[in-house]
Structure 1
């Protein structure tokens, strides 16, 4: 088990490593869309937790009706998104974040990896880079129509 300080240092090391990995492949961390989606309820996210690595498009709002409306707008374009993203993209309208709150997500998942196992890092970096590139492209394909939903 790690102390809080050790765990924090490992996490910082992981994300700094991903920044360097992205830069070597021509993407600065600031060039990913992530929170700059221009749709208030939508964020693209990287996550590495106890369940594995995730690349996700998360729809979140204080009002469930807003969240569901935005997610349903994406669902209308599911064939377009799936054409870009492939069948491994998981769609979940009712996803719970650590028993904290409900969001809607589309995500890729890489199981059985840990931020605390440095041997997993390169595998996670490859997964993050490849899948965020694809998810970001799919998002940009439908962004305008989702932004101006009725």
Structure 2
């Protein structure tokens, strides 16, 4: 078991290592910024999540107002085919995800389970999954983003 400081350092090392991994990926070279997690669509973010159960690549609808959150989630369903392009098993659509802090959001995501953030030998699996899946989700989202800004 890790102490609070050890866990903080482990996570810092993980994210620094992930950044280094991304820098040497041929399909990510030449980009100004590796990830544009800010979508420029109000209430929508692209994000990573990692824990002891696996890795998650997420498109999150996090409007504070439930009606706006549900409306945006519904608008995203109109573009489901575009968002899921290249994901052989599709994406997971969760209209009511409750974060650890207790607030509700809607999430569209893909996951890789059975890998543990605390095990350095799993980091390669985390990195390759997260980079390839975020690249695909980001690319698919950029194709519809302008329609969501209206």
Q: Shared topology, TM-score over 0.5? A: yes
Assess if the C-alpha contact under 8 Å between 1:91 and 1:106 holds in 2. yes
Query: How do 1:107-118 residues align onto structure 2 when only pairs under 5 Å count?
Result: 107-118=109-120
* Cross-structure match for 1:10: 10
Structure with the higher helix share, 1 or 2: 1
> Aligned partners of 2:3 and 2:99: how far apart in 1?
24
Corresponding residue for residue 90 of structure 1: 92
Separation of aligned partners in 2, 1:48 and 1:27: 26
Q: Which residue of 1 aligns with 2:108?
A: 106
User: Which aligned runs of 4 or more in structure 1 are off by greater than 4 angstroms?
Assistant: none
- Note the residue ranges of structure 1 that are not aligned, 5 or more in a row: none
1:119 aligned residue:
121
> What is the aligned length?
147
Classify 1:113/1:29 alpha carbon distance in 2 versus 1 (closer, same or farther; 3 Å).
Answer: farther
Residue of structure 2 equivalent to 1:132: 134
What is the CA–CA distance in structure 1 between the aligned matches of 2:65 and 2:32, rounded to whole Å?
A: 30
TM-score, scaled to structure 1: 0.91
Q: Shift of the alpha carbon at 1:87?
A: 2.6
Please tell me whether residue 34 in structure 1 is matched to residue 37 in structure 2: yes
| Residue of 34, 52, 56 corresponding to 1:54 | 56
**CA–CA separation in structure 1 for the residues paired with 2:18 and 2:30:** 10
Q: TM-score of the superposition, structure 2-length normalised?
A: 0.91
User: CA–CA distance in 1 between the matches of 2:31 and 2:129?
Assistant: 16
CA contact under 8 A between 1:55 and 1:132: conserved in structure 2? yes
SS of 2:41's partner is coil
| Structure 2, gaps ≥5 residues long | none
The residue that corresponds to 2:47 in the other structure is 45
